[in-house]
């Protein structure tokens, strides 16, 4: 290979990705003086990464395989815009050796390892064989080429249940299933293969012994074309759901100094086995005593900011410098470790509904200002649409502090001050997670979230008198701001009247609970609010269009609010609350989809039909599987009955609310 073709200086960079990572790469590239080119699909034409780039090219229709995964179109976009280099981000084509080679063949610099390195380490089975030869400890498992079900079943029986069925080319928990017994294996393989094929275009599987009570530890490495290879300490990524990381921190609170050096040395040995060039991550699983190699990710990781915050290194800048042929600027002994950093992934999903992805338009996007030790990496903003076609991650909230406990407190504060409306997010779930006593004490493993899920997703308490008073103040604040055409108007003061004293009654409902009434008394003198017969003075002063200071009973508190018609969102000292302002003139109606209908909960693709028409079904029996935001959702019978009609077929793209099957209840 002519390595001179791999490295050269460039001034225009195409980012072959979208969302948060595209925005993050654009910012660093711009700071380095590079011109940036974004790519986008039909549904992303108004996306944040498109707006940030100097130039943007339409790739094609919404589905990833027709746009972001279309190698020929991405290469053509680089040629059309004069880009000399391509940064793949993570996901999509970032670990696709064919894409890396296509960039090289087109005369483009690929910001990452070579296709050969990617092939050697990107395959879970291939990399394990390489690591075994290099003396890196492995989890017992099957990594062979034979993929028929009988071979996989024999391997699982030999290893012993429970086992992990895992996509060889996968990542992010997709194409991965924990199998507890031989009877569950066949269905798990079929499902994992289908999901892997859709996500990565490769359905090859490997089987591993499932490590009980495991911890997930990974080491950030980076190498250059001059033979230098560094490790930048480790990250703990044990808090996961469905094998998808949720909270990540650096350094690992589990390892002592000796263990830390041991795992970092093993990571350097692993990457050195292929003379690795570029940024990558060596992932390990620990059973509390031993550490085993899992895989190498030959790309930047979602959680790379925590490493950046403890080392002071901009990993994207180092990626770009390495890709242009420069040597790494520091030696191993010069890589510092300062303080503790922790990151939470903000997703468009509903924890109360089994983390079902949420789609729609973001009506409100508010994050706290980035102060010392707080960083927000976002790919969305107010007015953006969250589509069902891509990963549901919206942003990352990252905190740094001198100690782990201080970093957790700062992260939680950042989450508490983040308000996203119009879609459902996992922000309250993240706050509950990082403040859980066992998380603070680091008494966790990768199954922690599943075990504590009921507690972590518990419905919040009922709104109290303070929230009702805050709802009234929010309405008055909104009304006043709407009327502020005259700066000298007396209506800028809550409840002002020239003479007399009057009252105004408000009614609110939380969820399907009863109406609660609160009375505002205003006019001459101080305004008061009366709840449940208890009257108290109140005052409110506007901070901006969404926040105000509420003084009640002599205590002043900051309240954030969003009003959308008669729906009121409040963030108070007691948490987050959604209230419905009951229309005093009546005429309200709420259309609900009955739970007895088999309807698409979100736009998606039908990937499997699991029952035939005429089949007798028990309550909860699986009927069909949808792929929504790259995750599979199985729809089940709402009651015992007969599957009267299937109204879809495999491959159908269906909209939200579309009826997919009809079940006739069994007569009781």
Instruction: Name the residues annotated as catalytic.
Output: 299
Buried b (16+ CB within 10 A) or exposed e, 634-663: ebbbbeebbbeebebeeebbbeeeeebbeb
| Span between the terminal Cα atoms of the chain, in Å | 74
User: Would you give the DSSP letter of residue 146?
Assistant: -
Whether the Cβ atoms of residue 611 and residue 639 lie closer than 8 Å to each other: no
The residues, ordered by sequence, that sit 6+ positions from 663 with a Cβ below 8 Å of its Cβ are: 596, 598, 617, 623, 637, 638, 639, 641, 642, 643, 644
Rounded-to-integer distance, Cα 219 and Cα 237, Å = 11
Rounded-to-integer distance, Cα 365 and Cα 572, Å = 17
**How many Cβ atoms sit within 10 Å of the Cβ of residue 171?**
23
Token pair listed for 459: 């419905």
| E-only strand ranges, 1-51 | 12-15, 35-41
User: Would you give the DSSP letter of residue 129?
Assistant: H
Q: With CA atoms as reference, report the closest residue to 69 among 46, 45, 39.
A: 39
Rounded-to-integer distance, Cα 387 and Cα 463, Å = 32
Beta bridge partners of 375: 398
Segment holding 571, helix H or strand E: strand 567-572
Torsion angle of C-alpha atoms 119, 124, 129, 134, degrees rounded to 10: 80
Torsion angle of C-alpha atoms 128, 315, 100, 392, degrees rounded to 10: 80
Rounded-to-integer distance, Cα 206 and Cα 242, Å = 18
Could you give the 3-state DSSP secondary structure of residue 583?
Answer: coil
- The number of residues making up the chain comes to 668
Whether the Cβ atoms of residue 503 and residue 518 lie closer than 8 Å to each other: no
Rounded-to-integer distance, Cα 538 and Cα 540, Å = 7
**Could you tell me the CA-to-CA distances from 554 to 181, 532, 537, 541, 571 in Å, in that order?**
62, 19, 8, 14, 20
3-state secondary structure 338-376: CCEEEEEEEECEEHHHCCEECCEECCEEECCCCCCCEEE
Segment holding 377, helix H or strand E: strand 374-378
Q: With CA atoms as reference, report the closest residue to 104 among 226, 7, 222, 225.
A: 7
The residues, ordered by sequence, that sit 6+ positions from 378 with a Cβ below 8 Å of its Cβ are: 20, 23, 48, 365, 367, 394, 395, 396
Q: With CA atoms as reference, report the closest residue to 235 among 315, 308, 170.
A: 308
Whether the Cβ atoms of residue 115 and residue 100 lie closer than 8 Å to each other: yes
The residues, ordered by sequence, that sit 6+ positions from 427 with a Cβ below 8 Å of its Cβ are: 346, 415, 418, 420
Strands 604-609 and 598-599, by their bridges, are unpaired
Could you give the 3-state DSSP secondary structure of residue 155?
Answer: helix
Could you give the 3-state DSSP secondary structure of residue 417?
Answer: coil
160: left (phi over 0), alpha (psi -120 to 50) or beta: left
300 phi/psi in degrees, rounded to 5: -75, 145
């Amino acid at each position: 290979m002519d390595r001179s073709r791999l490295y050269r200086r460039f001034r225009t960079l195409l980012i072959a990705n979208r969302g948060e990572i595209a925005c993050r790469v654009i910012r660093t590239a711009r700071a380095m003086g590079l011109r940036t080119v974004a790519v986008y699909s039909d549904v992303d034409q108004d996306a944040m990464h498109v707006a940030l780039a100097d130039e943007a090219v339409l790739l094609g229709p919404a589905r990833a395989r027709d746009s972001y995964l279309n190698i020929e179109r991405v290469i053509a976009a680089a040629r059309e815009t004069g880009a000399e280099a391509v940064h793949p981000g993570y996901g999509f084509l970032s670990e696709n050796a064919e894409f890396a080679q296509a960039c090289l063949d087109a005369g483009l610099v690929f910001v990452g390892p070579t296709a050969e390195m990617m092939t050697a380490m990107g395959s879970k089975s291939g990399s394990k064989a390489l690591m075994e030869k290099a003396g890196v400890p492995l989890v017992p498992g099957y990594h062979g080429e034979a993929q028929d079900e009988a071979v996989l079943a024999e391997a699982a029986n030999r290893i012993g249940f429970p086992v992990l069925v895992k996509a060889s080319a996968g990542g992010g928990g997709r194409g991965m299933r924990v199998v507890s017994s031989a009877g569950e294996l066949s269905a798990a393989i079929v499902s994992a293969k289908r999901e892997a094929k859709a996500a990565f275009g490769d359905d090859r599987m490997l089987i591993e012994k499932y490590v009980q009570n495991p911890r997930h530890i990974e080491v950030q490495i980076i190498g250059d074309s001059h033979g230098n290879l560094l490790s930048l300490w480790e990250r703990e990524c044990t808090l996961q759901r469905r094998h998808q990381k949720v909270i990540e921190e650096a350094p690992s609170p589990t390892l002592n100094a000796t263990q830390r050096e041991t795992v970092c040395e093993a990571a350097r040995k692993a990457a050195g086995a292929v003379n690795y060039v570029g940024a990558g991550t060596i992932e390990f699983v620990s059973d509390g005593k031993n550490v085993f190699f899992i895989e190498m990710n030959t790309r930047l990781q979602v959680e790379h900011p925590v490493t950046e915050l403890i080392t002071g290194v901009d990993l994207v800048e180092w990626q770009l410098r390495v890709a242009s042929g420069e040597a790494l600027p520091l030696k191993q002994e010069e890589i510092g470790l300062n303080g503790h950093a922790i990151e939470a992934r903000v997703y468009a999903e509903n924890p109360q509904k089994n983390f079902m992805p949420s789609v729609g338009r973001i009506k409100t996007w508010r994050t706290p200002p980035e102060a010392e030790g707080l960083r927000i990496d976002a790919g969305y903003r107010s007015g953006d649409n969250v589509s069902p076609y891509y990963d549901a991650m919206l942003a990352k909230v990252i905190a740094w502090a001198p100690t782990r406990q201080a970093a957790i407190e700062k992260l939680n504060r950042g989450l508490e001050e983040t308000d996203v409306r119009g879609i459902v997010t996992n922000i309250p779930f993240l706050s509950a997670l990082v403040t859980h006593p066992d998380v603070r004490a680091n008494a966790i493993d990768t199954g922690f979230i599943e075990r504590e899920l009921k507690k972590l997703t518990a419905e919040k308490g009922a709104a109290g008198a303070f929230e009702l008073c805050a709802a009234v103040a929010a309405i008055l604040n909104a009304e006043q701001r709407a009327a502020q055409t005259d700066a000298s108007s007396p209506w800028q003061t809550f409840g002002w009247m020239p003479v007399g004293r009057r009252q105004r009654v408000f009614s609110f409902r939380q969820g399907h609970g009863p109406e609660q009434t609160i009375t505002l008394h205003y006019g001459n003198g101080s305004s008061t609010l009366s709840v449940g017969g208890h009257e108290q003075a109140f005052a409110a002063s506007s901070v901006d269009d969404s926040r105000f200071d509420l003084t009640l009973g002599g205590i002043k508190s900051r309240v954030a609010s969003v009003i959308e018609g008669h729906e009121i969102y409040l963030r108070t000292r007691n948490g987050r609350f959604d209230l419905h302002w009951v229309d005093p003139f009546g005429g309200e109606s709420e259309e609900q989809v009955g739970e007895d209908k088999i309807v698409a909960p979100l736009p998606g693709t039908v990937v499997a039909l699991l029952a035939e028409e005429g089949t007798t079904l028990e309550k909860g029996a699986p009927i069909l599987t949808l792929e929504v935001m790259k995750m599979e959702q199985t729809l089940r019978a709402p009651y015992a009955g007969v599957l009267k009609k299937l109204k879809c077929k495999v491959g159908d793209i269906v909209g939200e609310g579309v009826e997919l099957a009809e079940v006739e209840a069994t007569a009781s």
